[in-house]
């Protein structure tokens, strides 16, 4: 069975603080993909990043960075110098299903990030 | 390109009523799916389709029906609405390639009284 755990239900920070959102996953598949999505207050779901299980390189995109560690089954997301516009719900998701079943993603419960000015 | 379009944005139903949530995509994606979002539970897969004429159940299919007669459209039918179906519903599409990112519609907020 596949499972994604985002233990942090809600995080509040003050603008310019760094914040890390945790994501721990479970899967028996050796090939899988991990994703992060952002859901701002307007409600849409925005794709942020995809990482496959064979690529453990960390990724940085502007103020966003992602740390993938297979040894601890974690795919954590850090926002550096947070801004009010980063306030959103962030979802971590896992796809470990073979192609015959399509492209099913299993989502974590989400972490609400509130950035105060 | 419009991407994934869902209608309506909001809907209120009485218990026992039926309705169809519409979803259309213009990206020629073969894979389409419906998720529901509930507080503290993330998104859960209701039904999905890997192409026209092919559908299958996801994690929480009870009370919902789908069909896929064209590549573009993937409607979700509530057969007899129940208060437990109060939720936000998202339609998503992607290429069928394993690991393709899902493209989501803007969601439908459904309330069943």
Mean pLDDT, range A81-90, rounded to an integer:
97
Which pLDDT score, from 0 to 100, does residue A58 have? 85
CA of B100: which chain A residue's CA is closest? A103
pLDDT category at A102 given cuts 50, 70, 90 is low
Min mean pLDDT across B16-30, B31-45, B87-101 is at B87-101
Asked if A50 and A32 touch (Cβ cutoff 8 Å), the reply is no
CB A59 within 8 A of CB A49: yes
How would you classify the pairing of strands A111-116 and A10-14? parallel
Rounded distance between C-alpha atoms, residue B77 and residue B93, angstroms: 18
pLDDT reported for residue A3: 92
* Residue A48, min C-alpha distance to chain B (Å): 9
Two structure tokens written together for A111:
């972490």
Instruction: Please report the pLDDT score of residue A101 as a whole number.
Output: 54
* Residue B23: predicted pLDDT: 98
Q: What φ, ψ does residue A101 adopt, rounded to 5°? A: -100, 15
- The pLDDT of residue A110 is above 80: yes
The pLDDT-based confidence of A99 (bands split at 50, 70, 90) is: low
Would you tell me how many other CB atoms lie within 10 Å of the CB of residue A54? 9
Name A8's Cβ contacts closer than 8 Å, sequence gap at least 6: A21, A22, A111
Rounded Cα distance, B94 and B76, in Å: 17
The beta-carbon neighbor of B106 closest among A43, A101, A107 is A43
For an interface test with B, the pick among A38, A91, A102, A106 (most B C-beta atoms closer than 10 Å) comes out as A102
pLDDT tens, A18-27? 999 999 999 9
pLDDT tens column, A3-15 = 999 999 999 999 9
B42 to A50: CB separation less than 8 angstroms, yes or no: no
CA A64-A69-A75 angle, 5° bins: 45
- A36-45, B63-72, B90-99, range with the lowest pLDDT: B90-99
Q: Is the Cβ pair A33, B98 closer than 8 Å?
A: yes
pLDDT tens column, A27-66: 988 889 999 999 999 999 999 999 999 888 888 889 999 9
Q: Which residue of B has its CA nearest to A103?
A: B98
What distance in Å separates residue B106's CA from the closest CA in chain A? Answer: 5
- Dihedral, B59, B64, B69, B72 alpha carbons, nearest 10: -70
The chain-wide mean pLDDT, for chain A, equals 92
Report H helices in A18-117. none
Is the previous residue joined to A64 through a cis bond, with omega within 30 degrees of 0? no
């Amino acid at each position: 069975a596949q499972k994604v755990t985002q233990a942090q239900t809600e995080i509040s920070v003050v603008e310019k603080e760094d914040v890390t959102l945790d994501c721990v996953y479970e899967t028996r598949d050796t090939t899988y993909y991990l994703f992060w999505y952002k859901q701002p207050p307007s409600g849409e779901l925005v794709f942020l990043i995809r990482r496959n299980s064979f690529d453990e390189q960390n990724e940085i995109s502007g103020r966003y960075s992602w740390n993938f560690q297979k040894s601890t089954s974690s795919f954590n997301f850090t926002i550096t110098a947070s801004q009010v516009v980063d306030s959103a719900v962030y979802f971590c998701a896992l796809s470990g299903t073979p192609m015959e079943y399509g492209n099913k993603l299993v989502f974590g419960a989400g972490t609400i990030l509130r950035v105060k000015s | 390109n419009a991407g994934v379009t869902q209608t309506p944005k909001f809907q209120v139903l009485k218990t026992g009523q039926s309705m169809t949530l519409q979803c259309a995509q213009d990206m020629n994606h073969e894979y389409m799916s419906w998720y529901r979002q509930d507080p503290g539970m993330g998104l859960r897969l209701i039904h999905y389709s890997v192409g026209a004429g092919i559908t299958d159940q996801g994690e929480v299919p009870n009370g919902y029906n789908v069909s896929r007669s064209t590549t573009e459209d993937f409607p979700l039918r509530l057969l007899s609405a129940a208060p437990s179906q109060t939720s936000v519903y998202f339609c998503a599409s992607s290429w069928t390639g394993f690991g393709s990112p899902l493209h989501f519609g803007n969601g439908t907020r459904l309330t069943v009284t």
